[in-house]
A and B are shown apart, each in its own frame.
Chain A
């Protein structure tokens, strides 16, 4: 079934298939793509958790202990485990795609994909280690 032809700026007229609302279920790679887009919700959730943590840390020891007790309840633990899984999926898929967007040329030669993805992973590890150090050692 094709949509009625319409006139737009860059496509004066053309044949077009109507796309189903469930287009993302038709192919595995489309589903993976939609899941990757959904990970942004969990990224926002993690950011909100971190802000909440900072806020209660600033409010004093009692508030922080209260927050920790609340985050220790099964519902929050499950939510955080799911969020962590989505976050890892988000980071790994985006790092693997980074070389596509960054065509860096040094001395006329394109930097290999592995170097660009690898430097992202190294930065990720270094920053994670720094955050872990701040949270655990201080």
Chain B
């Protein structure tokens, strides 16, 4: 459970280099809601997170998860989001795909 210490933001070199990057803790939180079956906002979140400032800014340095004192593993969450985002994009290419 994230305690909002933002150590992951301090450990992430991308945060320093790319001012617009949404960052590890926020994306990990978004992932947490995706896995909550009472939540309906996965598509809306994915739209924002697969944009320019989202998951693709992450180059998987992995230091956010190293720094996390509560073992939240934001790096893992971002990589899983990338997989979800990539599958979602492939789905739009298919003739029977949504959107």
Contact = CB atoms under 8 A, between A and B. Distances in A.
Contact of B20 (A10, A19, A30): A10
B89 interface: no
Interface of B is mostly: helix
Contact of B53 (A6, A10, A17, A18): A10
Interface in B18-62: 19-20, 22, 26, 53, 59-62
A97 B74 CA distance: 14
A10 B26 contact: yes
B1 interface: no
Given A30-B61, A103-B80, A23 B13 contact: yes
B62 A29 contact: yes
A104 to B, nearest CB: 10
Given A6-B19, A10-B20, A33-B62, A100 B13 contact: no
Interface in A1-47: 3, 6, 8-11, 16-19, 23-24, 27, 29-30, 33, 37
A89 B92 CA distance: 35
A37 B76 contact: no
Contact of B16 (A9, A10, A23, A97): A23
Interface residues of A, number: 22
A100 B73 contact: yes
Given A10-B53, A100-B76, A37 B19 contact: no
A9 B13 contact: no
B19 A16 contact: yes
A119 B53 CA distance: 33
A123 interface: no
B83 interface: yes
Interface of A: 3, 6, 8-11, 16-19, 23-24, 27, 29-30, 33, 37, 97, 100-103
When A and B form their complex, which 4 residue pairs have the shortest distance between CB atoms, in order from nearest?
A19-B16, A101-B79, A100-B76, A8-B20
10 contacts: A6-B19, A9-B20, A10-B22, A16-B15, A24-B13, A29-B63, A33-B60, A100-B73, A100-B80, A103-B80
